[in-house]
């Protein structure tokens, strides 16, 4: 079975590794970039994500160098008052079976690439068109070269060429928020008391997320993401460098800790926060999409990378149970196992925007009181996270279809 994977980001490299683990070695990964460098900064790998990394055989490498999240503290952006906290670390690992890591995106790319045969990755190779046929897929490259394969897996991100085989091309949906992103050396923040936790600050129409990651060259860094309304700044490219003075102005009314952080940021990038409408199908014929090509999400659940990792295992195991003739059925099997869950994560992320970024004092007070009560009753956070972190993609890939996923009832 000849397989082409379009895209060598998190979804593409994880899928390549998952195919190898499942005994499928006849694949090639096409990547338009000339080198595998990651755009962005930190990535949160919750327990459902690291369960996949364990299956892929790369978890030990991550344990040696990466930071484990010990918990989350949710705080008021203006006063720094703690609203509630939930535990991670050993508590979450005991409950879910694997750790929760916070890593640099480049480090995750490197770890996933490590076991993949370099000869199976074609860099500087851009896919411009795909054609779904009864017994094969034809892939046209920017060079004019034509490739033929039995399966095409589109892991080519938000602007996926493969996705256009499933739905007509449209503009991404804009969340109304822009994200200020920065990495700050921890030694510049030594006067601030930091736990090895994820810090989430909620304020009127804006938020800040901070957590520690490690960089091989720069050492420990604080990953900073500040979301603000789009009218405060217009730049929307991943590569657009922002003006730190504008960043500081966006958070001039924040608490001392956040203002101090922004004063010590030397370089920042500003990015738009986009997704796309949930798909009705993830596969058609011999073409399927995974990761952001299938279900790009807003960052409010910190689970975009995790959903791509889940996809990789399920699609690989579905194909491993098939033969060349039955590829379309195998891809439909993948779709049935993944679409309900990944689409729900996408919708849930959108819903959280409303509760997390309200400026209505009554809604804020009601939200905070409700969260405090739930956290006091169960500091493990199981009341909000079991449905997300407890998911086992490996079991879901092999289980009877009628037991794969049930949409949670959340209060």
pLDDT digits (tens, 9 = 90+) for 83-116: 999 889 999 999 999 999 999 999 999 999 999 9
pTM above 0.85, yes or no: yes
Structural tokens at position 215? 């960089």
pLDDT digits (tens, 9 = 90+) for 256-311: 999 999 999 999 998 888 888 899 999 999 999 999 999 999 888 999 999 999 99
pLDDT digits (tens, 9 = 90+) for 332-388: 999 999 999 999 999 999 888 777 777 888 888 888 898 889 888 888 888 889 999
pLDDT digits (tens, 9 = 90+) for 186-222: 999 989 988 889 999 999 889 999 999 988 788 899 9
Using the structure block, give the residue that is written with the tokens 């500003």: 270
Give CA–CA dist 317/295, Å, rounded: 20
Q: Of 303, 291, 378, 350, nearest to 100 (Cα)?
A: 303
Element (H, E) at 225: strand 219-229
In b/e form, how buried is each residue of 77-91, taking b as 16+ CB within 10 angstroms?
beeeeebbbbbbeeb
Per the CB < 8 A criterion, the answer to whether 379 and 86 are in contact is yes
Structural tokens at position 105? 């995106």
pLDDT digits (tens, 9 = 90+) for 146-186: 999 999 999 999 899 999 989 888 888 888 889 999 999 99
Q: How many residues does the chain have?
A: 411
Q: Where are the beta strands (DSSP E) in 77-205?
A: 82-87, 101-104, 121-122, 127-132, 137-141, 146-149, 151-154, 173-185, 198-203
- pLDDT the model gives residue 238: 45
Q: Domains in the chain, ordered, with CATH? A: 3-71+100-171+277-354+384-403 (3.50.50.60)
């Amino acid at each position: 079975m000849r397989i082409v994977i379009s895209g060598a980001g998190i979804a593409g490299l994880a899928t390549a590794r998952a195919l190898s683990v499942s005994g499928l070695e006849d694949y090639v990964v096409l990547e338009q970039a000339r080198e595998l460098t990651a755009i962005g900064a930190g990535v949160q790998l919750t327990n459902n994500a690291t369960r996949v990394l364990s299956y892929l055989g790369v978890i030990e490498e991550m344990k040696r160098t990466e930071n484990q999240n010990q918990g989350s503290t949710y705080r008021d952006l203006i006063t720094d008052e703690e609203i509630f906290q939930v535990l991670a670390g050993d508590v979450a690992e005991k409950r879910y079976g694997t750790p929760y890591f916070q890593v640099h995106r480049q480090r995750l790319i490197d770890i996933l690439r490590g076991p993949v045969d370099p000869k199976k990755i074609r860099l500087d190779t851009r896919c411009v068109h795909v054609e779904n046929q009864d017994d094969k897929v034809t892939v046209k490259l920017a060079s004019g070269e034509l490739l033929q394969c039995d399966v095409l897996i589109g892991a080519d991100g938000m602007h996926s060429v493969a996705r256009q085989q499933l739905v007509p091309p449209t503009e991404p949906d804009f969340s109304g928020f822009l994200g200020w992103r920065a990495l700050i050396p921890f030694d510049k923040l030594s006067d601030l008391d930091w736990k090895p936790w994820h810090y989430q600050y909620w304020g009127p129409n804006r938020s800040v997320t901070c957590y520690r990651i490690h960089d091989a060259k720069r050492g420990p860094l604080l990953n900073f993401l500040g979301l603000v309304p789009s009218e405060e700044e217009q730049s929307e490219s991943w590569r657009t460098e922002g003006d730190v003075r504008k960043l500081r102005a966006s958070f001039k009314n924040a608490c001392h800790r956040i203002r101090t952080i922004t004063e010590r940021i030397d370089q920042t990038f500003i990015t738009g926060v986009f997704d796309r409408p949930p798909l009705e199908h993830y596969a058609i014929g011999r073409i399927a999409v995974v990761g952001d090509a299938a279900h790009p999400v807003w960052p409010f659940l910190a689970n975009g990378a995790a959903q791509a990792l889940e996809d990789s295992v399920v699609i690989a195991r579905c194909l491993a149970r098939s033969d060349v003739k039955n590829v379309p059925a195998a891809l439909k099997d993948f779709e049935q196992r993944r679409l309900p869950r990944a689409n729900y994560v996408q919708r849930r992320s959108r819903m959280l925007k409303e509760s997390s970024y309200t400026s209505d004092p009554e809604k804020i007070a009601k939200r905070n009181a409700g969260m405090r009560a739930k956290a006091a009753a169960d500091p493990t956070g199981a009341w909000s996270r079991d449905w997300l972190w407890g998911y086992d993609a490996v079991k879901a890939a092999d289980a009877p279809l009628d037991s794969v996923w049930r949409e949670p009832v959340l209060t």
